[in-house]
Every structure is written in C-alpha cells, then in structure tokens.
C-alpha cells in the first residue's frame, strides 16, 4: 500500500485502495434499523402529543377551578347584599 504525499488534504491516505463497495440493495438489517428509527420518532411524537394534551387538560382544569371559586365568591356577595337589603 502506498501513500500519496502530493497535497495536505490527501496526505496519509492510501491511493491504490478503492472506495468501499456499497451494496446495490440494502440488507434487511439496515432496513430494520431505518424502520426502528422511524418507529422511535413516531413514538416520540405520540408521547409529545400526549404530554401536550395533558398540559392542556391541566390548564383547563385549573381555569375551571378558578372560575368555580369566583362564582362561589359572587354567590356569597349576592347573599350578603340580599340580607342587607332585607334588614334595612
């Protein structure tokens, strides 16, 4: 094996060895790995959608609790005003 010493970017690389051969069709293992990555990406996106939906439900529940408390306070105020109006 000989090494070319012509340019800095080719220094140290063998010149007489061909590039590695790439098979014409991918082996099953490569296809399985590609599909595995796609499955993992799909699962990740599903997990993100589930987390997002959970966050939305949590925010809606918190807003509903606040609205309920606000309504209870308004009811108490209205009862007090009615009682004051009756007493006078």
The pLDDT score that the predictor gives to residue 31 is 79
The pLDDT score that the predictor gives to residue 18 is 60
In a domain, 54, yes or no: yes
Q: Kindly tell me if the per-residue pLDDT of 13 is higher than 70.
A: no
In a domain, 14, yes or no: no
69 exposure class (CB count in 10 Å sphere: 0-12, 13-18, 19+): exposed
Query: Which 3 state secondary structure label does DSSP give 21?
Result: coil
The pLDDT score that the predictor gives to residue 63 is 98
The pLDDT score that the predictor gives to residue 21 is 58
- Domain that residue 81 falls in: 27-88
Predicted TM-score of the model (pTM): 0.53
Please state the domain count of the chain.
Answer: 1
Q: In this predicted model, what pLDDT tens digit does every residue of 22-70 receive, in sequence order?
A: 555 556 678 788 889 899 999 999 999 999 999 999 999 999 999 999 9
């Amino acid at each position: 094996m000989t090494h070319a010493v012509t340019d800095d970017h080719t220094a140290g690389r063998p010149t007489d060895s061909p590039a590695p051969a790439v098979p014409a069709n991918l082996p099953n293992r490569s296809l399985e790995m590609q599909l595995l990555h796609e499955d993992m990406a799909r699962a990740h996106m599903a997990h993100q959608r589930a987390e997002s939906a959970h966050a939305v439900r949590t925010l809606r529940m918190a807003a509903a609790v606040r609205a309920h408390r606000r309504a209870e306070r308004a009811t108490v105020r209205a009862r007090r005003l009615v009682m004051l109006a009756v007493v006078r």
